[in-house]
Chains A and B, each alone.
Chain A
């Protein structure tokens, strides 16, 4: 049976289709592998989502790096070379993060990358940085349980945020009963696991701990807030430890405010709510609720005041707020500059080896230090939400806290340490004196 129509169609188009495909391929090769690094500048990759759901948080960090590069170039750049930012948009799409990382390193030949926000984005670029042996500075508080040769973690590890906050609530507020509420992804899971272990070690009974997980962007909090209320009315002082992810916080706090849960009855301490998030809420009903960070915009300190002033001039927006991950980028950036100047080169291996031990002033008056496990030392502050969307620091750690890559509270990791100086290993088991797995 002749089936003319279909076949002719196929015949006629696919010839052209093919041509187009090949043309596309050629174009691809030309445009992508065509670019090569200019020698008179040092290229700095910026890998933050500018579109999609994570743009909410990450756009600011992109601006921060551009701002820092601008400042550095005013000072004459690094090793006599100007810095040049290469901005890409991974569009809140995790595989695209990996692709863009690869592009930055291979095609644009950047010497360092500042980027990522969510754990999953970091996880998806990890193999790339390992394979191509480049450097990533990761500025966000995260669940820990990681220490990679090519990554430097300038955000807080759990022991630099969660545990001090719990200590504060026990000491200052005499809290006896705990709600651990979080969005269901790895950071809250791990943090809550660590906290649960820690609380039990402090003699809190199982029935005094309530753990609750909600999906991303959860917007109907009626039931959960009511449960918290019920849980809180069992005659013991109760507090909520919130690892709820950015977007879900606004409806959560609105529901809290409306159902009349006052901070003085059931305080909420949050690890993911900073100045940026509060900018979206009317904070008057929330006065007294807490947040634990390593930096607050409201901290009185010349360095901080100067930074805020310059930042607001740079962004031409006198209302533009600053927050903790921004400070992390500031510290990380300065550490990298120092390291590059120290070894007079941007060669990844040299810089990676030079970074541990490097010190850089943080914006809260102290000096942070890069540790052998590629985490840094930070002060921990507890801030109370004020009516104006800022925080009032009510407590701080007496000294800087060193970031633990591996949590002491988890069975899996209590014997592990990361040490890239002596042991040259990210997950060294101190019991067996073995470097687990392939290490890097």
Chain B
């Protein structure tokens, strides 16, 4: 399928005036944000800024109290559940890497492939050449070819992070939401991950949530800073990091 979005006129992701509160605590507060097709966006912000909650809303895990969330300019995500949204082409990588630990690396990727996901389809499924090639390619990209038959649970933290990204690739969505991909990675791994994401961005729209400023800088893309569930500042990394209020929030001056 053609992953490049042809309708570059409308936004890939469009959030406007979104509110969510848990038992009185306002996690997301009048949040508005748009993501153009093919764009890669880095989201930063202190703990509790609502980064993860935002992703929950986009992926249908949490329903907003009010506000619009549009995908591809047309689809209202607030009405759909996780499965449907995933089928639409939104992939997500969790903050703490979640892979299927008791299955092999390649089975993890196999499960991620965006082929027939119906009960019937999986029950009578038989491996095809195309599929195994896709998997080999992904394994290549995430540098796990040797580990293909190892249980995912036995991978190192960094490898798990990559495997999860690999699963995103296999899923081949229009929009990737990547939550803290380099948490707990060595500098080498962090660098490689940045490379990987840039590579992915060539063919996909990506939203990255990350604390690691050097990493964000390395990505060199537009940055949005969230604070208390609303957009505090937007722009290049330098603009944002020189923004008074951002500094205030981070250094609590």
Contact = CB atoms under 8 A, between A and B. Distances in A.
A3 to B, nearest CB: 7
Contacts of B131: 1
A2 B149 contact: yes
B107 interface: yes
Interface in A1-26: 1-5
Interface in B128-180: 131-132, 149, 151
Nearest to B135: A1
A1 B104 contact: no
B103 interface: yes
Interface of B is mostly: helix
B127 interface: yes
Nearest to B150: A5
A227 B149 CA distance: 72
A12 to B, nearest CB: 15
B103 A5 contact: yes
Interface of A is mostly: loop
Contacts of B127: 1
B86 interface: no
15 contacts: A1-B106, A1-B110, A1-B127, A1-B131, A1-B132, A2-B149, A3-B104, A3-B107, A4-B104, A4-B149, A5-B103, A5-B104, A5-B107, A5-B149, A5-B151
Contacts of B107: 3, 5
Interface of B: 103-104, 106-107, 110, 127, 131-132, 149, 151
Interface of A: 1-5
Contacts of B132: 1
Contacts of A4: 104, 149
Nearest to A2: B149
Closest 5 CB pairs of A and B: A1-B127, A5-B104, A4-B149, A1-B110, A1-B132
Given A2-B149, A3-B104, 13 more contacts: A1-B106, A1-B110, A1-B127, A1-B131, A1-B132, A3-B107, A4-B104, A4-B149, A5-B103, A5-B104, A5-B107, A5-B149, A5-B151
A4 B106 CA distance: 11
A1 B105 CA distance: 12
A5 B110 CA distance: 15
A1 B115 CA distance: 15
Contacts of A2: 149
A1 B103 CA distance: 13
Contacts of A3: 104, 107
A181 B37 CA distance: 76
A3 B107 CA distance: 8
Nearest to B125: A1
Nearest to B107: A3
Most buried by B among A1, A2, A3, A5: A1
Contacts of B151: 5
Contacts of B110: 1
A5 B152 CA distance: 12
A366 B121 CA distance: 79
Contacts of A5: 103-104, 107, 149, 151
B195 to A, nearest CB: 29
B175 to A, nearest CB: 28
A152 B22 CA distance: 71
Contacts of A1: 106, 110, 127, 131-132
Nearest to B103: A5
B135 to A, nearest CB: 9
B60 to A, nearest CB: 30
B39 to A, nearest CB: 36
A4 B110 CA distance: 14
A3 B125 CA distance: 13
A1 B107 CA distance: 9
A4 B149 CA distance: 8
